[in-house]
Amino acid sequence: MIWRLGGFAFLVLAVMTGLAACAGERGEWIVGCEAQGGVEPFCGFSNPEDLAYFAPTGNLIASQFGSLDGSRPGSLVSFFPDDPRPSILYPEAKADAPELGWGNADCPGPPGAAFSPHGLDLIQRGDGRHALLVINHGEREAVEYFEVDAGVDGAVRLNWRGCVILPEPLLLNDLVALTDGGFWATHMYPRDAAISSILKAMFGTDTGWVVEWRPASGFAEVPGTRAPMPNGIARCAEERRVYLNAYFGGEVRLIDVESGEVLARVDVPRPDNLTWAADGRLLVASHRSGLRQIAGCREAAVGTCAVAFSILALDSGDLTPEVLLERDDLPTGAVSVALQVNEHIWLGTFAGDRVARMAYFSAD
């Protein structure tokens, strides 16, 4: 998500959106941690903005978001689906010198105490090892590379292996790992022009694009991906097409990465992250509240910010949507990601103290 900037940026947003309707009025924060409406929350987390599933151990990994400007640190945690209590993985993980083949050769070393994770993605490398790529805003704008394996207790373990430092003025949100060790990542807007860029994006102006980094060729812009506030991203297995969420564009797009042609698009209100479901569809978290309520999530409070949301499943070809969840009486809010693990969908939030789960296809 996008909403942990400096106070002045939010003052501008508040003025600009003061007359905006707040859809799904439910109060500002959800405090109770009891199941309701087919959704079961698990508290004790801190802004679990993105999720990944590591099948060899059965753990979920969550990026506990701090802030875009790096002023608030965060962490990576893991938890078991049948015992959803967070266990810190990083910054407690081992961090040695960078290892050749994990990120860029000029990586200066591991992130420091200001580590602030955002989007993440898991991939199995050609040598059989598993890599977790994580966007980091703390002290540096970078993609950090971690090796993921099983510890002596059977739970997931991380070792930091390398990084790619992003050049000015790139500011990333989400990413997908590529099979050659590179990545595609959504650049939202220039780091040095946050306020003006947010205002432009609100009126439909393109502010960012998908950034490509390859070990052999370095940085490039993926054709056809300019959008108002790019956010979530997913890729096809053959890496010829990319799915892109235009947050302020209010749509999800399917794009041919060679020609830049938009192959399909669908209207989705403020789409956040994208993940793949087991049936080959894409799951997207969509924000239905007004911008005034969303901007209000920046202030820390007990519980979870009560931004109304929807969970949709999109056909991978023509992006035909099906609403899986859309209720305003749920024990979680400000949902940024929906990830299927077996028979459940797990929900993360960009502003709150919980993850939650629901049965897949629970809409009725």
Residue 295's CB is within 10 A of a number of other CB atoms, namely 24
Closest alpha carbon to 274 in 50, 13, 53: 50
Coil vs helix vs strand at 200: helix
Angle of helix 7-16 relative to helix 194-202, nearest 10 degrees, comes to 20
C-alpha span between 192 and 171 (Å, rounded)? 9
In order along its 364 residues, the chain shows pLDDT tens digits of 554 444 434 434 444 444 333 333 444 899 999 999 999 999 999 999 999 999 999 999 999 999 999 999 999 999 999 999 999 999 987 777 899 999 999 999 999 999 999 999 999 999 999 999 999 999 999 999 999 999 878 889 999 999 999 999 999 999 999 999 999 999 999 999 988 999 999 999 999 999 999 999 999 999 999 999 999 999 999 999 999 999 999 999 999 999 999 999 999 999 999 999 999 999 999 999 888 888 888 776 789 999 999 999 999 999 999 999 999 899 999 999 999 999 999 999 999 999 999 999 644 4
Residues 6+ apart with CB under 8 A from 211: 166, 170, 172, 184, 185, 186, 187, 219, 220, 221, 222
Residue written as tokens 């994006």?
Answer: 201
Sign of torsion, CA 282 186 147 151?
Answer: negative
Q: Which two tokens stand for residue 248?
A: 């302020």
62, β-bridge pairs: 51, 77
Coil vs helix vs strand at 150: strand
CATH 3.40.50.620 fits 7-359, yes or no: no
Longest Cα–Cα distance of the chain, Å, equals 55
Contact 336, 272 (CB under 8 A): yes
C-alpha span between 294 and 146 (Å, rounded)? 32
pTM assigned to the model: 0.93
DSSP string covering 253-308: EEEETTT--EEEEEE-SSEEEEEE-TTS-EEEEEE-S-HHHHHGGGS--SSEE---
